[in-house]
Amino acid sequence: MWSRWKGDGLPDDNSSQRADRILDAAARLIEHYGYDKTTVSDIAAEAGVSKGAIYLHWKSKDELFEALLLRESMHVLEELIQHIEAHPDGGTIFGLFQYGIISIVNNPLMHALATRDARVLGDWARRGANSPMMNEGSMFRKEMVRQLQAVNVIRSDLDGDVITYILALIRYGFLTIHEVYPADQIPPLDAVGKTLAILLERALAPEGGGDREAGRQIVINLAQQMRVFLQHWMGTKDKPPTQG
């Protein structure tokens, strides 16, 4: 729930529950119609609140949408942390790659964000391209590769920036292949993820695979740092407008 991460942003549980309901409504409409075609009035009607009630939480549609993206980012991150902690291959770039992609594919807004889907994101895609959330995600992936190379989970004889870029290429292709490949010929997501993880491990892992437990702890620590970043940003973005 959104209220779980509210911090001191809203004054009471009822207000937090209303914010959740508004964000749920915004998610449904934006996923279906796209950001540009969804108005604040549409969201208010879908949520069963007045338009003015929305502005008690966010100053603009942009701020509401960023709050929604932050909430969905937190959901994906929590799911990813659970996978890492529950599976023995969670400390490898290959297991993380598999679980991370599956989490994104299963979340329509995060899928749209990862692929810069213009139909869903509309004009926000241009304005939000350099947002702290987007930049932090890029730094997270680069730092993860660097640290996994340091414990020999990923081969250290390869350029870390090149590895990060190649993984981004594969990730983007994985998320957009449905646009050019017949849907009835696309294999099940889990099977593709597992096969891709095996291919990556054979290409990028050193002989013996390195210290996977150390790698798992690195990934968990980085994911928790990302969680703190998202919680902090959600707290600063979610403070209601000061009443004059």
Most confident of 167-171, 188-192, 206-210: 167-171
Strands (E), 74-211: none
Region label for 107, one of left (φ > 0), alpha (ψ between -120 and 50) or beta (otherwise): beta
Q: Shortest CA distance to 143 belongs to which of 221, 64, 80, 85?
A: 221
Domains of the chain: 11-57 (1.10.10.60), 58-237 (1.10.357)
Angstrom distance (rounded) from CA 57 to CA 23: 11
Q: What is the pLDDT of residues 124-168, one digit of tens each?
A: 888 776 666 666 677 888 888 998 898 888 899 999 999 999 988
The conformation of residue 122, written as its DSSP 8-state character, comes to: T
**In the structure encoding, which two tokens stand for residue 233, read together?**
């940003």
**In the structure encoding, which two tokens stand for residue 115, read together?**
């692929």
Amino acid occupying residue 32: H
What is the enclosing helix (H) or strand (E) of 211?
Answer: none
Cβ 1 vs Cβ 229: under 8 Å: no
Angstrom distance (rounded) from CA 17 to CA 37: 25
Q: How confident is the model at residue 53 (pLDDT cuts 50, 70, 90)?
A: very high
Angstrom distance (rounded) from CA 115 to CA 176: 7
pTM of the model: 0.76
In this predicted structure, what is the pLDDT of residue 81? Answer: 80
Angstrom distance (rounded) from CA 116 to CA 244: 38
Q: Is the pLDDT of residue 8 over 50?
A: no
Q: What is the pLDDT of residues 22-36, one digit of tens each?
A: 999 999 999 999 999
Q: What is the pLDDT of residues 60-88, one digit of tens each?
A: 999 999 899 989 988 888 888 887 777 76
